[in-house]
Copies of this chain bind each other. A is one copy, B any other.
Amino acid sequence: MNSLLKEKYGALPVVEAMIFSSENPLSIEKISSILEISKEEVEEIIKLLMQEYNFNNMKGIEIVEIGGGYFFRTKIPYAPFIRKIVMGKESDLSKSAMETLAIIAYKQPITRAEIEHIRGVDSSNPIRSLLEKKLIKIMGRKDVPGRPHVYGTTKEFLKAFGLKDLNELPNLKEIKDMIEQPQLKLLGEDYENKDSENNS
C-alpha cells in the first residue's frame, strides 16, 4: 500500500467520528482544515463512508449531504421505529396525517386553507391528530381576513423523526417515497400502513 492510501485509510475513522459528532452538517473544508489533510482526500474518504453505509442494506444509518455539509441520519424506512421510541403507541400516523405533516414541515408557517389547497381535501382531522400528538403546534395567526391560525412543527417532531433541525429534513422525493410506499418489508414481515383517513 502506498503512503497516500495509508494516510487516506488512516483518517477514515476520525472523519467518521467527526461527521457523527458534529452538531451541524460538517463541510469538507472544515474537516480538511481540522485534520490538516487535503480536501480531495476528505472527499475520497466521505465517498468510501457513503459506500459503506448508504448502499449497504445491512446498515440502518446513512451519510447525507445538504448544502455542502455532511451528517449521519437514520435511513428513511426505519423512521417509524424511531418514532416509536419517542412517542410509544402514539406513533402510528395515517397516510393523510403523514402527508399533512410533510406539507407543514416544508411550508411552515402555513394555514389550514393553504394545506387543503395543496392536498385538495379537507384536512381538519389530520391537523387535529397531529396537534394531539404534539408533532405540530399553532405558531400564531396570519394577517389576512379571518386571521386564521398558522401551523408549524414542534421539537417533538424533530425528536420523533431523529432530526437535529429542520435543515436535516429528507428531500421531497424521499418524503414522497415514504408516504407512498404501501408497505415496509422489514424483519421478514410486512409492516402495512393500516390506518385510513377515518382514524387519523
Interface residues of A (CB under 8 A from B): 3, 6-7, 9-18, 20-23, 26, 30, 34-35, 37, 57-61, 72, 74-75, 78, 81-82, 84-86, 159, 162, 186-188
Complex partner residue of A18 from B15, B81, B187, CB under 8 angstroms = B81
Q: Which residues of B contact A22 (CB under 8 A)?
A: 82, 85
The reply to whether B188 and A75 contact each other, CB–CB distance below 8 Å, is no
Complex partner residue of A16 from B16, B26, B61, B84, CB under 8 angstroms = B61
The reply to whether B60 and A186 contact each other, CB–CB distance below 8 Å, is no
Complex partner residue of A82 from B21, B75, B186, CB under 8 angstroms = B21
Q: How often does this chain occur in the complex, in copies? A: 2
* 20 further interface pairs, Cβ-Cβ under 8 Å (given A13-B78, A23-B86): A7-B188, A9-B58, A10-B187, A10-B188, A11-B187, A12-B58, A12-B60, A13-B57, A14-B60, A14-B186, A14-B187, A17-B75, A17-B78, A17-B81, A17-B82, A17-B162, A18-B82, A20-B162, A23-B159, A35-B81
Residue with the highest number of chain B CB atoms closer than 10 Å, among A3, A7, A26, A34? A34
The complex places the Cα of A162 from the Cα of B34 at a distance, in Å, of 16
The reply to whether A15 and B60 contact each other, CB–CB distance below 8 Å, is yes
The reply to whether B23 and A78 contact each other, CB–CB distance below 8 Å, is no
- Chain B nearest CB from A155 CB (Å) reads 11
The reply to whether A60 and B17 contact each other, CB–CB distance below 8 Å, is yes
The reply to whether B188 and A59 contact each other, CB–CB distance below 8 Å, is no
The complex places the Cα of A15 from the Cα of B72 at a distance, in Å, of 15
